[in-house]
Structure 1
């Protein structure tokens, strides 16, 4: 029996047509993707920009929340710290009293130890004392009195009446100090030399004509 060559040819042709149509579809898809590539790139750039904006907004929100938290903590803690500073002032006043006998000396020792513990607790909370010597700084000191002292520069701190403190770099309480007064002597204008005024006009003697 002769082989059916016609059917085989038809199958090969159908298979070839099938592969050809698949290749054509692949080429069409590639062409469509190439055509849509600019739109995809623009879309990716848009999504990337949105992601960056969202990240920036999150960072700003986080910073604002941290700032608000610190401000609220400072608002609540500052009155308490100011009251504790008053306790330190009272301890300083107690230590300024002379110890005349053994009992008062023992009492002064106990007060000194208590004050030391207070200062350590304040320093642990970032409370630091303001320098009591040097030059007057209006941001740190409150001048209650200005005295003349020719041996020192104007603005020099002479005495600290009440200690001042800072908290996290901000002034919690300014220091009350006495300072050297500035030289306020006004230099008067020098006396102007009197310049003699010139005569407005000169009169010349006209000789009289002799009568003939």
Structure 2
């Protein structure tokens, strides 16, 4: 099975991978002690803006550190940093919940993984990565029908997602639907998936 285990680490003002949301950081700065001469209302506004900047930078720090720990398979520590990132980001909720769910899945906590993907989808019902990641957790839990449904949702959102076709084919093969599996492998192969092409040759009648 193919997994969406990672996302590009975020630099200040940088975008995430395609299909993930854009992190926007206000780069305005509060400069020096000259702010003393500014009226009280302006001082409060500047302080709030600076606090937002600090939170955004802190979010990046914890999210990037979580990603590094994830890549090292230190999933328990990654989850702690994803928790901190969630506290600091009002905009990247779907991404962080989905990544935290992946960490839980890799620890064998499939119910926790599914719960986190559900939370991501509560914020954005069209967040394809959450469906993909939830289907992976459902498959590992043994909920093959649920996995097929979620991969189908990914394909509805993005009909060119070859990984979703490939994985859905594998689940269909698991439940004995060889015809359906071959149809999905063929679609994935048409989208350029070499593993799907190999599966077609191994399991399907291509006459």
Normalised-by-shorter TM-score class: under 0.3
Larger radius of gyration: 1
TM-score normalised by L of structure 2 = 0.24
